């Protein structure tokens, strides 16, 4: 962590400052803005998270592994990650279609629909959970049709996937959309004039060009989904080892007075979050370079 | 200062628009808006007004002093304490001239105990079982021997555990053993977080050991029952909701009061009284640490003492808890069929129970393998 | 640039007209894609919202009005607005400072800083609540000391505001960074070399260019702050009429078997979400008006 904080020290030590800021700077305010950024970041994010790690060290390695690696916890991670990935993939397919339709075609109500894509960002997740649960119970508007097929959605893993799809929808659509907009029309036209059929153009030209943005969108949708709590607890049924997501396990551990256990699982989730965000930034940097 | 405008104006607009949504509630403080729309609350207010009116002559002068109490309770008591808070307010004003406002917090009993330990400043803890209240002793918030501070082991009301099934009892559930049948969907909360669920577990356990079965037989039955569990919520209310609102499962192992509440409002459910159940004694306590800190001991103590008053005992019975007052109990006898009950003494008290059944790696963890 | 603005404003360019046959999918493919895409949006977004209103008015408008006028609901609304009023300005100031530092200067560890700023978006809100309980709870690191000095954090407004600050932390910065990145440094550098002070440069050069990005971030931050559930649930104590926010109130009513009231309160939150979207669309329109100018928050991926 000390490495991360180096720029803060730099404020007080001009020599170091020279080394840290390589380029000659014209604009003022580097110390102030960076200092404040780091101060606030530390206060709200780093110190509390550090406290979390510190707390988890109260457990020995053996205990940490026993709790964070227990069968129940592993099942919860598995559900959290697989459901999040499934939701991201669903958005990867349908969200892509939606983005394509919104960018390329013109039809009545397009603008309204485009605005609605952001609804999941604005709607409190508890409301989403409440509505989705009511929608997918066997008597619900949609649940009744699944019920005819003998499929249970609310209170099953499927329910978790469904609600996570809602939560992470904008992340996919909004990442792909600008790239679709910016795709050079000439390239497509060139492909077409060279005799490529429309499908071949889509497959050979458009989709490869979309791939970096698409994978970034996928990762962002995934990252958003693994953290989700409010909506999932309404719809999941919360059955240990079956429909219990990892964040809920933390709450249960907490309610069972098992603080160390709660932090152990939290640390695992946190590392996963950190990793995912790191991957996203890597992806988007590459996209920046080649996209 | 145009920059200020640029940030402040949008913020203002946002807030104003948000407030717009609420304005219908802020602008018209109609007299009815002070009571909740539920019928239970209406009864409570009516009862409360009655009290004040009846004994007007001896009312203490209104001092204008105001205090606030926080009562932290378990899941199904939401309706009871919402009503009681109104009743108690009238009573205390009448008795002392002090206006007391009681706020309530509800959740799984274990979770609520945890919240108090973490610093939720409860004046009174009215949890589902004394074992949870004991955790406050461990945290130094409550003096030992708290259970002798109020009559009847600090249990102003009791309840028991029954089975709630769907109308017509399609799965033919008569007793605990039937819950382990294949194809029966069982709903119960999580014993790790819910007090009611621990009572559920013990009642089913006693059904085996009381009829001559061994502990291994009991483990076997509980194991099979829990393999039938479809949804494991963190509190009793969540389970009731899963069973009733969401229509999941064939049988709900429930507090008697929850079951009676459900059948009062609807014909879609029936109560099945098992051959044996457990005497569930929710215990009440004044949280010493908080009341000494806030100077609310007197009001908090009266808040719990008044629960034993016959009038409140009636309120308790109307909310389907078993009153401790024998006269009131007799009056509501029809509501509570005779039932063979064991009590927590049968299991050597909560400390032993916690260690044997619900601690990490204890019997519950052993048998619960979904 | 390694940051994304989720749901960022798009230039409201007209969709390309598929006029020539080489360039267009067959009509039936187009129709199919529209049906699939729009149908997906309908099932995922529109239906749940419709259901909220249907359920909210299931017992008539009178009941609905009573439900949203309930004093406990009103106090929950008040708390929700108070929290937003504390959190949003704080995160807005932070967002401006962070965006300035990241886009106007080069320094080592920048990508790590960006990752750290993004982190709260992926951290489970429950973890966010947990860390504050661990620090400020009565059993926590500084909880006992705070208690001695009569400072209440957990189970009171400060704790709720802190947890909300954490989960909404990156939203303004994320919206601003791409915009300020796009603008580049030339304008500011020119202003400074012409003798303008740092603050002057910021107020009269940077902010006008970035204002829509800032406003956009503020709108997103505000929406999330008013809707947060998981983090707030862990630190609130759920005291009816005191530490219940609107989302917690929804859950509580749902648990009290008062489903219709729960949906009524939920519909208030949906209304707030609609307001958010409308504001967002307005910002996007303004942005596209200015698209020729340097201050467009669009095209952060281009």
**Sign of the torsion formed by the C-alpha atoms of C182, C186, C190 and C196:** positive
Residue-level pLDDT at A262: 84
**Residue B17 pLDDT class (50, 70, 90 cuts):** very low
Q: Do A255 and B110 touch (CB under 8 A)?
A: yes
Cβ–Cβ of B114/A139 closer than 8 Å?
A: no
Average pLDDT on B67-95 reads 93
Interface check B103 vs C, CB under 8 A: yes
Rounded to the nearest angstrom, the minimum Cα separation between A22 and chain B is: 32
Rounded CA separation C290/A104 (Å): 23
Q: Does A267 reside within a domain?
A: yes
Q: Which residues of chain C have pLDDT under 70?
A: 1-24, 288-302
The pLDDT of residue B296: 94
Nearest C-alpha neighbor of A110 from the set C38, C28, C35: C38
Give how far B34 is from chain C: nearest CA, Å.
6
| Nearest alpha-carbon partner for B125 in B140, B138, B145, B141 | B141
- Asked whether the ipTM of the predicted complex exceeds the cut of 0.95, the reply is no
The maximal CA–CA distance of chain B, rounded, in angstroms, is 85
pLDDT at position C9 is: 42
Nearest by CB to residue C63, choosing from B19, B37, B106, is B37
Q: Does a structural domain hold residue A61?
A: no
Q: What is the pLDDT of residues B271-286, one digit of tens each?
A: 999 999 999 999 999 9
Cα B337 to Cα C148: distance, rounded to the nearest angstrom: 51
Contact: A101, C112; criterion CB under 8 Å: no
Q: Shortest CB distance from B15 goes to which of C81, C138, C211?
A: C81
If residue B254 lies in a helix (H) or strand (E), which one and from where to where? strand B251-255
Q: How close does chain C come to B356, measured CA to CA in Å?
A: 26
Q: Nearest CA of chain B to the CA of C268: how many Å?
A: 7
**Residue C206 confidence (pLDDT):** 84
Are residues A73 and A176 both part of a single domain?
yes
Q: What are phi and psi of B295, to 5 degrees?
A: 70, 35
Q: Which of A255, A256, A264 to mutate to test the interface with B (most CBs of B within 10 A)?
A: A255
Fold of C60-289: MetI-like fold (1.10.3720)
Distance from C-alpha of B331 to C-alpha of B91, rounded to nearest angstrom: 23
* Contact call for A126 and C38, based on CB within 8 A: no
* Whether A224 and A180 share a structural domain: yes
User: pLDDT digit string (tens) for B184-223?
Assistant: 999 999 888 788 999 999 999 999 999 999 999 999 999 9
Q: Of B289-303, B312-326, C11-25, where does mean pLDDT reach its minimum?
A: C11-25
C35 touching A (Cβ < 8 Å): no
Instruction: Provide the CATH number for the domain around residue A187.
Output: 1.10.3720.10
Q: Nearest CA to CA, how far is A84 from chain C (Å)?
A: 12
Give C223's contacts in chain A (Cβ within 8 Å): 121-122
Residue C203 token pair = 């107020």
Considering the domain architecture, whether residues A231 and A285 belong to the same structural domain is answered as yes
Query: CA gyration radius for chain B?
Result: 23
Dist CA B277 CA C123 (whole Å): 44
Mutate to test the interface with B, among C67, C69, C157, C286 (most CBs of B within 10 A): C69
Domain with CATH 1.10.3720.10 in chain C: 60-289
Q: Are residues A83 and A49 in the same domain?
A: no
**pLDDT tens by residue, B20-74:** 333 333 333 333 333 333 333 444 444 444 444 444 456 788 888 899 999 999 9
pLDDT score recorded for residue B116: 92
CB B10 within 8 A of CB C218: yes
Tell me, yes or no, whether A87 and A231 share the same domain: yes
Residue tagged 């009611």 (tokens): B196
Are A155 and B242 a contacting pair at CB < 8 A? yes
The count of structural domains within chain A is 2
Q: How many C-beta neighbours within 10 Å does residue A5 have?
A: 14
CB count in 10 Å sphere of residue B9: 11
The partner residues of B8 in beta bridges, in order of sequence, read none
Do residues A112 and A206 both lie within one domain?
Answer: yes
**Residue of chain A minimizing CA distance to C297:** A178
Q: How close does chain A come to B231, measured CA to CA in Å?
A: 5
Per-residue pLDDT tens digits for C49-60: 999 999 999 999
What value does the mean pLDDT take over residues B178-183? 93
Residue B175 in tokens: 């007793």
Higher pLDDT, C129 or B1: C129
Tell me: do A33 and A115 sit in the same domain.
no
Nearest residue on chain B to C208, alpha-carbon basis:
B3
Within 10 angstroms of residue C57's Cβ, the number of other Cβ atoms is 15
pLDDT of residue C290: 53
**Would you tell me which residues 51-70 of chain B have a C-beta closer than 8 angstroms to some C-beta of chain C?**
70
* B271 touching chain C per CB within 8 A: no
Interfacial C residues in 74-133 facing A (CB < 8 Å): 94, 97-98, 100-102, 104-109, 111-127, 130-133
A226 is in which domain, residue-wise?
67-290
Distance CA B70, CA B54 (A): 28
Which of B114, B190, B231 lies at the smallest CB-CB distance from A257?
B114
* Domain boundary residue, one of A56, A76, A95: A56
Domains assigned to chain B = 40-155+282-333 (3.40.190.10), 158-280+338-367 (3.40.190.10)
Facing residue for C255 by CB, picked from B19, B25, B241 = B241
Name chain B contacts of C275, Cβ cutoff 8 Å. Answer: 14, 17-18, 21
Is there a single domain that holds both residue A31 and residue A89? no
Which of B246, B359, B365, B368 should we substitute to test contact with A (largest number of A Cβ atoms within 10 Å)? B246
Q: Per-residue pLDDT for chain A (291 aa), expressed as one digit of tens each? A: 333 333 434 344 444 444 445 445 567 777 788 888 999 999 888 888 888 888 888 888 888 888 888 888 899 999 999 999 999 999 999 999 999 999 988 888 888 899 999 999 889 999 999 999 889 988 889 999 998 998 888 888 999 999 999 999 999 999 999 888 888 777 777 777 777 777 888 888 888 888 888 998 999 899 889 888 889 988 887 777 788 888 888 887 777 777 788 888 888 988 888 888 888 888 877 766 654
Q: What CA–CA distances, in Å, run from B36 to B233, C55, C57?
A: 27, 19, 17
Query: Do A39 and A87 reside in the same domain of the chain?
Result: no
């Amino acid at each position: 962590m000390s490495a991360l904080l180096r720029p803060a020290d730099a404020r007080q030590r001009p020599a170091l400052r020279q080394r840290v800021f390589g380029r000659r700077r014209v604009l003022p305010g580097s110390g102030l803005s960076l200092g404040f950024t780091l101060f606030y970041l530390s206060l709200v994010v780093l110190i509390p998270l550090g406290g979390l790690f510190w707390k988890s060290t109260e457990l020995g390695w053996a205990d940490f592994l026993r709790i964070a690696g227990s069968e129940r916890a592993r099942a919860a991670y598995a559900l959290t990650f697989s459901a999040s990935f499934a939701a991201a993939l669903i958005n990867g397919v349908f969200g892509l279609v939606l983005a394509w339709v919104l960018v390329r075609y013109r039809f009545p109500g397009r603008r309204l629909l485009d605005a609605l894509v952001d609804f999941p960002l604005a709607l409190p997740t508890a409301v989403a959970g409440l509505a989705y649960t009511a929608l997918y119970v066997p008597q619900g508007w949609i649940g009744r049709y699944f019920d005819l097929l003998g499929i249970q959605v609310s209170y099953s893993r499927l329910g978790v996937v469904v609600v996570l799809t809602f939560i992470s929808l904008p992340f996919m659509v909004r990442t792909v959309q600008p790239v679709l907009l910016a795709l050079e029309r000439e390239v497509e036209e060139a492909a077409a004039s060279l005799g490529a059929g429309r499908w071949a153009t889509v497959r050979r030209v458009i989709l490869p060009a979309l791939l970096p943005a698409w994978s970034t969108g996928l990762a962002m949708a995934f990252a958003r989904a693994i953290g989700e709590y409010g909506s999932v607890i309404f719809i999941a049924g919360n059955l240990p080892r079956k429909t219990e997501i990892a964040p809920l396990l933390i709450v249960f551990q907490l309610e069972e007075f098992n603080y160390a256990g709660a932090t152990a699982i939290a640390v695992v989730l946190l590392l996963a979050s950190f990793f995912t965000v790191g991957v996203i930034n890597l992806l988007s940097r590459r996209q920046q370079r080649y996209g | 200062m145009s920059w200020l405008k640029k940030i402040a104006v949008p913020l203002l607009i946002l807030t104003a628009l948000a407030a717009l949504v609420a304005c219908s509630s802020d602008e018209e403080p109609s007299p009815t808006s002070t009571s909740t729309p539920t019928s239970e609350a209406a009864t409570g207010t009516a009862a409360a007004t009655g009290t004040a009116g009846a004994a007007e002559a001896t009312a203490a002068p209104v001092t204008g002093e105001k205090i606030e109490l926080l009562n932290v309770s378990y899941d199904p008591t939401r309706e009871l304490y919402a009503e009681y808070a109104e009743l108690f307010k009238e009573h205390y004003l009448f008795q002392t001239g002090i206006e007391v406002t009681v706020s309530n917090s509800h959740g799984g009993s274990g979770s609520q105990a945890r919240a108090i330990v973490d610093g939720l400043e409860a004046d009174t803890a009215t949890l589902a079982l004394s074992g949870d209240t004991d955790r406050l002793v461990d945290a130094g918030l409550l003096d030992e021997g708290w259970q002798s501070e109020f009559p009847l082991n600090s249990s102003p009301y009791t309840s028991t555990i029954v089975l709630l099934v769907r109308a017509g009892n399609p799965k033919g559930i008569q007793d605990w053993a039937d819950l382990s049948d294949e194809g029966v969907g069982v709903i119960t909360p999580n014993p790790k977080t819910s007090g009611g669920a621990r009572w559920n577990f013990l009642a089913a356990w006693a059904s085996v050991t009381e009829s001559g079965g061994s502990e291994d037989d009991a483990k076997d039955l509980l194991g099979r029952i829990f393999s039938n569990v479809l949804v494991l919520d963190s509190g009793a209310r969540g389970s009731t909701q899963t069973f009733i609102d969401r229509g999941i499962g064939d049988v709900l192992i429930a507090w008697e009061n929850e079951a009676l509440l459900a059948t009062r409002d609807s014909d879609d459910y029936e109560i099945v009284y098992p051959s044996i159940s457990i005497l569930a004694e929710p215990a009440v306590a004044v949280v010493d640490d908080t009341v000494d800190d806030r100077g609310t001991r007197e009001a908090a103590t009266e808040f719990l003492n008044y629960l034993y008053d016959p009038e409140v005992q009636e309120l308790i019975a109307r909310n389907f808890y078993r009153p401790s007052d024998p006269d009131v109990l007799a009056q509501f006898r029809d509501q509570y069929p005779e039932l063979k009950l064991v009590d927590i003494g049968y299991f050597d008290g909560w400390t032993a129970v916690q260690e044997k059944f619900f601690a990490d790696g204890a019997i519950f963890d052993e048998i619960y393998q979904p | 640039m390694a940051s994304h603005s989720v749901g960022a404003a798009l230039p409201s360019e007209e969709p390309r007209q598929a006029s020539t046959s080489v360039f267009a999918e067959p009509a039936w493919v187009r129709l199919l894609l529209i049906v699939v895409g729009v149908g997906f949006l309908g099932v995922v977004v529109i239906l749940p919202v419709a259901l909220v209103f249907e359920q909210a008015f299931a017992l008539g408008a009178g009941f609905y009005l009573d439900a949203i006028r309930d004093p406990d609901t009103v106090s929950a609304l008040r708390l929700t607005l108070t929290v937003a009023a504390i959190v949003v300005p704080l995160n807005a100031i932070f967002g401006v400072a962070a965006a300035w530092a990241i886009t106007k200067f080069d320094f080592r560890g920048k990508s790590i800083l960006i990752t750290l700023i993004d982190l709260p978006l992926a951290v489970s809100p429950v973890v966010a609540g947990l860390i504050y309980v661990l620090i400020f709870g009565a059993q926590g690191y500084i909880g006992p000391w705070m208690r001695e000095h009569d400072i209440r954090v957990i189970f009171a407004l400060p704790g709720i505001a802190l947890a909300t600050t954490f989960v909404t932390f990156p939203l303004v910065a994320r919206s601003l960074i791409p915009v300020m990145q796009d603008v580049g440094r030339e304008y500011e550098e020119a202003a400074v070399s012409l003798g303008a002070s740092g603050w002057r440069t910021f107020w009269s050069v940077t902010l006008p260019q970035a204002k829509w990005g800032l406003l956009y971030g503020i709108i997103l931050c505000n929406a999330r702050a008013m809707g947060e559930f998981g983090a707030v649930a862990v630190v609130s104590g759920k005291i009816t009429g005191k530490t219940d926010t609107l989302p917690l109130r929804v859950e509580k009513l749902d648990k009290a078997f008062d489903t219709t009231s729960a949906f009524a309160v939920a519909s208030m939150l949906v209304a707030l979400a609609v307001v958010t979207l409308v504001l967002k669309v307005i910002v996007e329109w303004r942005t596209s008006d200015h698209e020729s100018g340097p201050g467009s928050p669009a095209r952060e991926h281009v």
